Amino acid sequence: MKKKTLLTIAASIVAVAVISAFTFVPGEVEVGKAVPAFSLKGIDGKSYSISDFKGKVVVLEWSNPNCPYVQRVYKSGIMQSVQKKYADKVVWLTVNSTSPKSQDFETSENLAKAYKEWNATFVTMLLDPEGDVARLYDAKTTPHMFIIDKTGKLAYAGAIDDDPRGNKPEKTNYVDLALTSVLEGKTVATTNTRSYGCTIKYAP
């Protein structure tokens, strides 16, 4: 009986290992590894898949216009300066994962208006109301930045810069530095930083 039980346990372990080998576990994106695929609708009504941009450098920027941190990096021009610098070199996708039940939730029309007023430069804003993609990438805050290289691997994850309080006269823009390295085929010096901002208003 004991031998049979041990064989059953061993079989279960093997089964779990096989499943794990072919299933991407949400919240476990790692620098240097392939990012998970996803498809979302944009505020323009079109559907976008990460696979649509195969062979290109992609930036994912989690954002919420009602977050004070997002407002600061936009009203100060920090975010747009990087967006515009690399506009013709990367695919910049902004993602809104705010739950419809949150007081921060905005319609597509209001989102388009807010970012247009801020002169944002991105391909589109993707809508993730259920928070599935945010959970898949373990996005925690707005803003939270992810850079995917041309091979589909994660090259950077974290904050836009090293100034969470917004009072540094000289800032290190991690996204700018990482994009420069990725586009030049160089190793990214800082691949992970702690993101700062408002917590994502996930759907319950």
- Give me the pLDDT at residue 28, please: 63
* Number of domains composing the chain: 1
Listed as ranges, residues in the chain with pLDDT below 50 are 1-26
Is 20 within a domain?
A: no
First to last CA, the chain: 45
Is 5 within a domain?
A: no
- Give me the pLDDT at residue 204, please: 86
Is 204 within a domain?
A: no
Q: How far apart are CA 201 and CA 3, in angstroms?
A: 50
Is 94 within a domain?
A: yes
Per-residue three-class SS string for the chain = CHHHHHHHHHHHHHHHHHHHHHCCCCCCCCECCECCCCEEEECCCCEEEHHHHCCCCEEEEECCCCCHHHHHHHHCCHHHHHHHHCCCCCEEEEEECCCCCCCCCCCHHHHHHHHHHCCCCCCEEEECCCCHHHHHCCCCEECEEEEECCCCEEEEEECCECCCCCCCCCCCEHHHHHHHHHHCCCCCCCCECCCCCEECCCCC
Is 126 within a domain?
A: yes
Spacing of C-alpha 173 from chain mean position = 16
Is 3 within a domain?
A: no
Burial class (CB in 10 A: 0-12, 13-18, 19+), 129: middle
Here the CATH number for the domain that contains residue 167 is 3.40.30.10
Is 139 within a domain?
A: yes
Is 2 within a domain?
A: no
- Spatial contact of 60 and 142, defined as CB atoms under 8 Å apart: no
- Give me the pLDDT at residue 21, please: 29
The whole domain housing 85 covers 29-199
Q: How far apart are CA 82 and CA 30, in angstroms?
A: 23
